Amino acid sequence: MTDSDIPGIPETPGIPAPLADLPPAYPARAAWGTATKLRAWQSAALDQYFSSSPRDFLTVATPGAGKTTFALTVAAELLARRVVERVTVVAPTDHLKSQWADAAARVGISLDPSYAGRKGRTSRDFAGVAVTYAGVAVNPLAHRIRTERFKTLVIMDEVHHAGDALSWGDAVREAFDPATRRLALTGTPFRSDVNPIPFVTYAPGPDGVPRSVADFTYGYAHALADQVVRPVLFLAYSGEMQWRTRAGDEVAARLGEPLTKDLTAQALRTALDPQGSWMPSVLTAADTRLTEVRRHVPDAGGLVIASDQDAARAYAGLLASVTGTRPTVVLSDEKAASKRIAAFAESDDRWMVAVRMVSEGVDVPRLAVGVYATTTATPLYFAQAVGRFVRVRRRGETASVFVPSVPSLLGFASELELERDHVLGRTFAAEGDLFAPEDALLAQAQAAEGAGAEEALVPFEALGSEARFDRVLYDGGEFGHAGEVQVGSEEEMDFLGIPGLLEPDQVRDLLHSRQSERARRQQHHARQPGSADQRPASAEQRAAATSGVPAHERLATLRRELNGLVAAWHHRTGQPHGVTHSALRKECGGPAAGTATAEELQQRIDRIRHWAATRRP
């Protein structure tokens, strides 16, 4: 039998049939042309895979690291060695299913992306099929029969989607239990529930709770050190929000300050309301940032991730008014979604707006600027969304993601480099836990999406919003300016104007430099003869004279800023708020924040920003 006897596997001149005497990582073996040279982690993973020849293998690699190339290299090698005869790829969405078929075709493996269980058979031109988890759940028996007929390699992309034991998980186990080999891939090694992921090994952790065990892990920190992915600048925006509750009460609060769960959710929804001022201001800032990036990366693009279709269309209108050009809009239930994404990827258009879970199917390497404008706030979704912007193309690229200054999102950003294993047996309260089940999101992955369910649970009316630049999170540190920074100000441009093509160390040094230079200018201005600080007055009076606001408002603003920074520090380190406040008082002196002067509060703000820039938890 020759290679041509296996459907979909063409004869490749110059490649010996057995190939068993060559190491899997040999450059010429990179999935028959996927890459002229494999990345170091891919070579290491291939060496480990073929040295042990396991039936099940879980690879955890950060988005953008090259999981597809690794998996197709494994598939090509197993087909060439006659270990398997067919390949089945399982993906979360129809768009990803098509992407896998296209990628496999480029390396000589023909996959049928239109296959459905009810078809039974497919053309002999194909060496395998590409299906979705939802499609497997519709008819797992048909997929099992196909898997039993041929020696099959099953590649499960984003395998965390198979953790739903009530539907997809059981179907995946039934359909692919007879498989000769199973290769599981994920960039987010956790699920937000306690259901075991099929074909994943679990072992007791230090606390006795069973945790998932990856066979090979390549995390964001490693990929960043290897310059396989882009570093990410998180630009956080806060601001004052006003809304009316169902009871008719009008509420005003600052986005990002310590609030109850309900108030935080309502403040976020108010910020994301396209009728307010917050979203237009943030979109304008994001477009300004994209313009700066395009000075060095001319085809760089931006992506706005919206909560629902109505918001997506409204954001598209706002972007059109900002840029003068209508952006590409991708709605997850549209049949033309894949074509729209592909067309945008090949163009040099500035912006695309997508709805929720379509972000996981967006594979556009030129995306460099993002706006996280969705109420979905889980670590799984956040990691997947940020993964759309980290695919590196050339040395020195940096991604920029604009986020609301909400403690949970800032915590996710700070923890981006931390590894999370899937945990079994963890107790949680579904209402208030960040790791509550996401079955509703998964069920809507390929369905029409109206307004989010959470918005129907807490009726309210957004009355108004305004945006303020808050801070930048980068490389484990936080950078910003003292006091409030107005949108469109020179202080904001200190960070929006960071060049789009710099080495990570240069970005960090530039952030430090601009923060320090602005602080020196402010101090120099305060020391000028005749300035408010030169007159004998209290700190509150000096601040009021300088800013033109009453002392009580100045103090309230500083307390909110300090509390927001303490909350972000808690999400980064796990240190209780009270402990952080006590540590700040010990280092800076003075009474509790409620009775501290403006000068004392400012010293604590400066100190905790210094901690964020220089310490690692």
Q: Find the range with the poorest average confidence among 3-7, 118-122, 348-352, 596-600.
A: 3-7
Predicted pLDDT of residue 189: 55
Report which listed range, 113-122, 195-204, 415-424, is most confident: 195-204
Instruction: Check residue 585 and report its DSSP letter.
Output: H
Please tell me the predicted confidence (pLDDT) of residue 578: 76
Lowest-pLDDT range, 40-44, 443-447, 504-508, 549-553?
A: 443-447
Of 22-26, 82-86, 127-131, 486-490, give the lowest mean pLDDT range.
Answer: 22-26
Categorize the per-residue pLDDT at 90 as very low, low, confident or very high, splitting at 50, 70 and 90. very high
Torsions phi, psi for 252 (to 5 deg) = -125, 135
Reply yes or no on whether the pLDDT at 287 is more than 90. Answer: yes
Longest dimension (CA), the chain: 95
pLDDT surpassing 90 at residue 290 = yes
Pair of tokens at residue 82 = 């006659």
pLDDT at position 433: 33
Q: Which has the closest alpha carbon to 566: 553, 579, 551, 548?
A: 579
pLDDT of residue 384 exceeding 70, the answer is: yes
Residue 545: is it exposed, middle or buried by C-beta count within 10 angstroms (0-12/13-18/19+)?
middle
Average pLDDT of the residues in 255-261: 82
The per-residue pLDDT for 529 is: 56
Mean pLDDT, range 234-252, rounded to an integer: 88
Dihedral angle sign, alpha carbons of residues 24, 29, 34, 39: positive
Q: For 256, how many CA atoms within 13 A lie in the half-sphere containing its CB?
A: 27
The tokens for 427 are: 């107790």
- Position 227 pLDDT exceeds 50: yes
Q: In this predicted structure, what is the pLDDT of residue 31? A: 35
CA distance 174 to 161: 15
Task: For residue 49, give the amino acid letter.
Answer: Y
Range among 226-240, 315-329, 425-439 rated most confident: 315-329
354-378: b (≥16 Cβ within 10 Å) or e: bbbbbbbbbbbbbbbbbbbbbbbbb
Give the pLDDT confidence of 183-223 residue by residue, as tens digits. Answer: 999 876 555 455 678 898 887 767 677 777 889 998 877 87
Tokens of 402: 């604009």
What CA–CA distance (Å, rounded) separates 35 from 29?
9
Mean pLDDT in the chain?
78
Enter the pTM of the model: 0.65
Q: Which of 102, 173, 162, 100 is nearest to 131 (CA)?
A: 100
584, pLDDT greater than 80: yes
Chain segment 496-527, per-residue pLDDT in tens: 988 887 888 888 888 888 888 877 776 655 55
Structure tokens at 354: 């997508």
